[in-house]
Structure 1
Amino acid sequence: MIANLSPTGDGVGRWGEDQRVVFVPDTVPGDRISARLVRVKPKYANAQLQELLEPSTYRIRPHCIVADKCGGCQWQPVDYTYQISAKQDQVVQALGRIGKFQDPPVDEILAAPSPLGYRNKVTYPLTNRRSHGEKKVQAGYYRKGSHRLVNLNQCPVQDPHLDPLLAAIKQDIQDLEWPVYNEKTHEGIIRHLSMRVGRRTEEILITLVVCNDDIPVLGAQAAAWMRDHPGIVGVCLNINSERTNRIFGKRTDCIVGRPYLVEEFAGLQFHIRANTFFQIHTEQAEALLEVILAELNLQGHETVLDAYCGIGTLSLPIARHAAQVVGLEVQEEAVKSAIANAALNNITNVTFQTGKVERLLSVQDDTPDIVLVDPPRKGCSEAVVEQLLELKAPRLVYMSCNPATLARDLKFLCQGGDYQLTRVQPADFFPQTAHVECVAFLERQSPT
């Protein structure tokens, strides 16, 4: 019997006299199954589903016809009400087990308005594969645990405006005989197809990731895409000639139209480029921002420090309620975009600084009233945590896409009595997957 779901998305059961934990992909809590052990460790085992003996009441028919093969979504067979319950538990368990918080103050998770059609950005690797005697250009996600592509013509979790483009652009690449990159031989040019859409504006930006720009009739084809698909506002070319798993290279050229799309977020306009970091789920990001603003209850006299500020996604909405916001960001291009977005919205009480966050935190002249951190999945480095403790801001806000690293960092911030964790709000930014977003609120404790 599968008892629950792991943070990586696998079903979890027990086996043997010692009731060893067994992780089984493609299973749902409540399933009765037979499985084959594929790896046995002293404290756990991994198994492969052999037969579904009795399906769980939480098991549903996936919305995607290749859900059992594609590695893009782990939880399409899981009823959405159970998905959000599992994510809530994931946050509570991480804070208890890793953070050592007893009875952590976790609010009820913010469920997504719709568990489908929410992704505002997709990036598909491309390949050539022989089918019915001829080579076909294929795009999709990799099969679970492999680098074998599962071909897609549509995807139920991406914004529906992108579905017709996926099949059309694949066909055009094939008809034009543009050489598709082979990751084994490192031959070919076209590596990835990336598409972004403004959820509020419906503007679409297309980007081809390529090894070089030696692509015949590229300009004419890009113009044809814009003509045939009115939502497209720009077609870009990103150059990545390295033998690497990293998708985007450093250089991006605009072939036709604009190098950015315009999106509306929290009542503001943002210019979003091909490789800009912007939350995948626009509506849920806004919902979590509303939680942050309500909790902070800014009165207009506060100074807020926004670490890992990116293009100003949080800095700019917060600046409308504070006296001053200072954004810190290591990526120079992101800072340029943040400055441009501030000017676009006539926001003048925000400044941005470029450099490593730990260094920028160490050179602040004054103690801010609030520090907001939104680090990548790996969380804050030890140096950043030390600087946060040294800065002694009265309030900290920690936004995270990884409950494990969130719990680790909160433990370090709170274990010495410097800060108290007052509230954690989970939110489902990634329906059909095991990922969960959180924001944690901390208050500095007065020395006794």
Structure 2
Amino acid sequence: QTLTSRLRELGTDKVEITQRPDGLCCPLHSVVPSPVVNGYRNKSTFSVNRGPDGNPKTVGLYVGTGRGQNIVCVRANHLENIPEKHKQVAQCYEEFLQQSPLDPCLLFHQGGHWRELIVRTNSSGHTMAIITFHPQDLSQEELCTQKALLKDFFTCGPGAVCNLTSLYFQESIMTRSSHQQSPYQLLYGEPYIFEEVLGLKFRISPDAFFQINTAGAEVLYQTVGKLSRADKNTVLLDVCCGTGAIGLSLAHQASKVVGIEVVEQAVEDARWNAAFNGISNCEFHSGKAETVLPQFLMSREDDQLLVAVVNPSRAGLHYRVVRAIRNCEAIRTLIYVSCKPEGEATRNFLEFCCPSDSGKKLVGEPFAPLLAVPVDMFPQTIHCELVMLFTR
């Protein structure tokens, strides 16, 4: 309804958008349910901070607000969407911190070292743990000591009960660092875990994006496949492709798939995934979508129709990506997958659908919303993944 009113304000001349009797700009399907509702998360991020009892080495999730100055870190034991294995690793990490002489790093400028824990699992029970550490002014020798202690704890100490497949360590002086900024160091085990989706095997690196709900992802990709109407006469663009899951799962429908992703490790995973699964009509490009996509569209020599699937983060698509898609006449179908449609995604929707605007360099024919399908990727929460189909 918000999108419809905003489109009306922009003065769109497409009657089918603004004159529907239900006040919506396109039909809205009922929510497609997730096949799994409990313990479905395949990735959890745990913070280290003060608990309700004042213990600064509590491993859990934040409760409270910055404005209210009442933020505390609460153990995740009661949460139904987090698997027991994730809770076990978090509990063991807290036990390790209690015996460590080093302080947690609550605020960078106040010192301390131990930071967040990320746990990734697959449906076979394989478990990857990634621990972030602020080195401050520790020497390489001191850092090696801490890594050895951490490895010993999880391989032959109390943490061995977690039966980790992989243990990674990242020295980071920022809240979030990529592998390029601060390499993930494998302390123990296998460099990757693997997951199966729609009969395809996917390799997952420490920082690669993979949908949080594997069973739900199968439903999501099937939904995208139906809406895309990709066939052997179309090229599928998979923008913000992560490890290539959407493109690879739809490769059998299209003549070719072109994936674009900023995380280099994820692109390496996507290429491995294509080769391992015997899929030869996919290519993946590493770099920012706002740089790679316009270059790709300008350098095209064939006249095949394109179907674009975009699955950006909550920050939405960069304006140059929107402009490139909007101004490419060969793209007649656009599928936008959003985990936060009420945020920056709405700005993108308006940019795709607004009347031509030479001042903003949006000169291509506007898209029109055709269908909206919510998929419940996040049971036990108020959030939903929204799949929007646009055509022109």
Is residue 303 of structure 2 the alignment partner of residue 373 of structure 1?
no
Is residue 197 of structure 2 the alignment partner of residue 265 of structure 1?
yes
Contact in 2 for aligned 1:127/1:138 (Cα 8 Å):
yes
| Deviation for aligned residue 1:376 | 1.6
Task: Return the alpha-carbon distance in structure 2 between the equivalents of residues 130 and 187 of structure 1.
Answer: 22
Task: Return the alpha-carbon distance in structure 1 between the equivalents of residues 76 and 263 of structure 2.
Answer: 34
Question: Which ranges in structure 1 are unaligned for 5 or more consecutive residues?
Answer: 1-92
Contact in 1 for aligned 2:172/2:182 (Cα 8 Å):
yes
Task: Return the alpha-carbon distance in structure 1 between the equivalents of residues 319 and 113 of structure 2.
Answer: 40
Segment drifting more, 422-431 vs 145-154 = 145-154
Alignment of 1:241-252 (within 5 A): 241-242=173-174, 245-246=175-176, 250-252=182-184
2:360 maps to none
Task: Return the alpha-carbon distance in structure 2 between the equivalents of residues 421 and 162 of structure 1.
Answer: 39
Q: Could you give the per-residue CA deviations for residues 286-345 of structure 1, whole angstroms, max 9, x where no partner exists?
A: 111111112234443431111111211211111122221011122322212211221222
Is residue 4 of structure 2 the alignment partner of residue 96 of structure 1?
yes
Structure 1 residue ranges (4+ consecutive) displaced by more than 4 angstroms after TM superposition: 128-132
| Deviation for aligned residue 1:388 | 0.7
Contact in 1 for aligned 2:85/2:162 (Cα 8 Å):
no
TM (normalized to structure 2)?
Answer: 0.80
Instruction: Give the % identical residues.
Output: 25
| Deviation for aligned residue 1:235 | 0.4
Task: Return the alpha-carbon distance in structure 2 between the equivalents of residues 437 and 153 of structure 1.
Answer: 23
Contact in 2 for aligned 1:222/1:256 (Cα 8 Å):
no
1:303 maps to 235
Structure 1 counterpart of 2:38, which letter?
L
Q: Could you give the per-residue CA deviations for residues 62-90 of structure 1, whole angstroms, max 9, x where no partner exists?
A: xxxxxxxxxxxxxxxxxxxxxxxxxxxxx
Task: Return the alpha-carbon distance in structure 1 between the equivalents of residues 242 and 202 of structure 2.
Answer: 12
Task: Return the alpha-carbon distance in structure 2 between the equivalents of residues 387 and 203 of structure 1.
Answer: 40
Is residue 378 of structure 2 the alignment partner of residue 430 of structure 1?
yes
* Aligned partner (choices 105, 115, 127) of residue 27 of structure 2: 105
| Deviation for aligned residue 1:178 | 4.4
| Deviation for aligned residue 1:394 | 2.1
Distance 1:381 1:142, change over 3 A: same
SS of corresponding position for 2:203: strand
TM (normalized to structure 1)?
Answer: 0.71
Q: Could you give the per-residue CA deviations for residues 7-41 of structure 1, whole angstroms, max 9, x where no partner exists?
A: xxxxxxxxxxxxxxxxxxxxxxxxxxxxxxxxxxx
Alignment of 1:13-412 (within 5 A): 93-100=1-8, 101-102=17-18, 103=24, 104-127=26-49, 137-146=57-66, 148-152=71-75, 154=77, 155-183=79-107, 186-198=110-122, 200-212=123-135, 213-214=143-144, 215=146, 216-224=148-156, 227-230=160-163, 232-242=164-174, 245-246=175-176, 250-363=182-295, 364=297, 365=300, 366=302, 368-392=305-329, 393-404=331-342, 405-412=344-351
| Deviation for aligned residue 1:354 | 2.1
Structure 2 counterpart of 1:426, which letter?
P
2:362 maps to none
Question: Which ranges in structure 2 are unaligned for 5 or more consecutive residues?
Answer: 9-16, 19-23, 136-142, 356-364
SS of corresponding position for 1:369: strand
Contact in 2 for aligned 1:98/1:407 (Cα 8 Å):
no
Q: Could you give the per-residue CA deviations for residues 413-446 of structure 1, whole angstroms, max 9, x where no partner exists?
A: 22335322211111122234333211111222xx
Contact in 1 for aligned 2:128/2:165 (Cα 8 Å):
yes
Q: Over aligned residues, Cα RMSD in angstroms? A: 2.5
Task: Return the alpha-carbon distance in structure 2 between the equivalents of residues 229 and 437 of structure 1.
Answer: 31
Structure with the bigger RCO (C-alpha within 8 Å, sep 6+) is: 2
| Deviation for aligned residue 1:207 | 0.9
2:361 maps to none
Distance 1:153 1:376, change over 3 A: closer
Contact in 1 for aligned 2:207/2:266 (Cα 8 Å):
no
Contact in 1 for aligned 2:119/2:128 (Cα 8 Å):
yes
The answer to which structure has the higher strand fraction is 1
Distance 1:187 1:350, change over 3 A: same
1:48 maps to none
Contact in 2 for aligned 1:99/1:407 (Cα 8 Å):
no
Task: Return the alpha-carbon distance in structure 1 between the equivalents of residues 316 and 51 of structure 2.
Answer: 39
Q: Could you give the per-residue CA deviations for residues 80-136 of structure 1, whole angstroms, max 9, x where no partner exists?
A: xxxxxxxxxxxxx3422444453222111123344432221111111366959xx56
1:3 maps to none
Structure 2 counterpart of 1:125, which letter?
S
Task: Return the alpha-carbon distance in structure 2 between the equivalents of residues 391 and 130 of structure 1.
Answer: 54
Distance 1:99 1:207, change over 3 A: farther
Structure 2 counterpart of 1:149, which letter?
V
Aligned residues: 346
Distance 1:177 1:346, change over 3 A: farther
The answer to which structure has the higher helix fraction is 2
Q: Could you give the per-residue CA deviations for residues 122-165 of structure 1, whole angstroms, max 9, x where no partner exists?
A: 11111366959xx5631111222137333315232212322222
